Structure 1
Amino acid sequence: MNEISHRKARTIIAKTLAKGREMELKPLSVVVLDAGGHVKAFEREDGAAPGRFDIARGKAFGAVMLGMGGQAQMARAEQQAYFMAAVNGVYDGKVVPVPGGILVMGRKGEVIGAIGVTGDTSDNDQVAGVAGIEAAGFDAQP
């Protein structure tokens, strides 16, 4: 499988939100991007702040464009702040380099997209997102 179908994108979102409810997280927003950084699906739970789309998209966009999850991006930003600042310049400030941006991996280990989860702590966002990706039958790379 070399892409995320709309049905699988909706499954990722539903399972991510279910994990968030199970963990009693604050209201989440979840976006699924394809391998080209285009939005496949998005959902914002009741009570989530209206600006969460841009944060979720920034987490996912950075992951798919750089080929590294938000956890790895954050480590890179801490070690080489100038690099992430330059990357954000290249992408017009659209990269949010923190956990919650998670690569979706295909059966052969290829990047087929990314998700961005936001609403609670970045670490909790990541846990919920990984659960959603795995529940849809994909591997996650945070």
Structure 2
Amino acid sequence: MHRLTLAQSNALIDAALAKGAELQLKPLTVTVHDAGGNLIACQRQDGASNMRVKLAGAKASGALALGVSSRTIGDMALDRPHFIAAVDTMADGGMVPAAGGVIVADADGTIVGAVGVTGDTSDNDEACALAGIAAIGLKPFN
């Protein structure tokens, strides 16, 4: 497999939102992107603020742009804030240096896309992203 389908993307979102419900999190927004950063699917739960779609997308897009999770980008921002600020201005879709954006890979380690989750703490957002990836039988890259 070299790309995420709409059916897989929707299943990933459903699983991420189910994890959020299990953990009793605040309303979440989940975006799924192909390996080129193009949006495949998005859901914003009732009560999620209007900026959440862009935030979730920027977590996923940033991860794809630099080839690492948005958590790692957050760590990079602490060490090299000027670099991350500069790259953010160049990245299509922006970049959010906080956990919740995870690159998705197939069994062979080929990058097939990314997921971005926002709405609760960054750690909880990432937990939901990872749950969604696992639910469709894929794995996080890196």
The two structures share one fold, judged by TM-score above 0.5: yes
Percent same amino acid at aligned positions?
Answer: 42
State the superposition RMSD in angstroms: 1.3
Unpaired runs of 5+ residues, structure 2, are none
* 1:68-107 equivalent positions in 2, closer than 5 A: 68-91=68-91, 94-107=94-107
Aligned length: 142
Aligned 8 A contact 1:32 1:41 in 2: yes
Per-residue deviation, 1:93: 7.3
Alpha-carbon distance in 1 for matches of 2:93, 2:26: 26
Instruction: Answer whether contact 1:67 1:111 (CA < 8 A) is retained.
Output: no
* CA distance in 2 between partners of 1:106 and 1:68 (Å): 16
3-state SS of the aligned residue for 1:98? coil
1:40-119 maps to which residues of 2 (within 5 A)? 40-91=40-91, 94-119=94-119
Residue 19 of structure 2 corresponds to 19
Q: Is the 8 A contact 1:13 1:132 kept in 2?
A: yes
SS at match of 2:109: coil
Q: Quick check: 3-12 or 106-115, which moved more?
A: 106-115
- Give yes or no for contact 2:30–2:115 (8 Å, CA) kept in 1: yes
Query: Partner amino acid for 1:47?
Result: G
Corresponding letter in the other structure for 2:73: Q
How far did residue 92 of structure 1 move?
6.3
Write the distance in 2 (CA, Å) between the matches of 1:93 and 1:112.
18
Unaligned runs of 5+ in 1: none
Query: For 1:67 and 1:92, how far apart are their aligned partners in 2?
Result: 14
Distance (Å, rounded) in 2 between the aligned partners of 1:122 and 1:59: 10
Moved over 2 A (4+): none
Rounded Cα–Cα distance in structure 2 between residues aligned with 1:124 and 1:94 = 21
Could you list the per-position Cα deviations for residues 41-83 of structure 1 after superposition, in whole angstroms to 9, with x for gaps in the alignment?
0000111111110000000000111111011111111111111
SS of the equivalent of 1:120 reads coil
What TM-score does the superposition give when structure 1 sets the normalisation length? 0.96
Letter aligned with residue 28 of structure 2? L
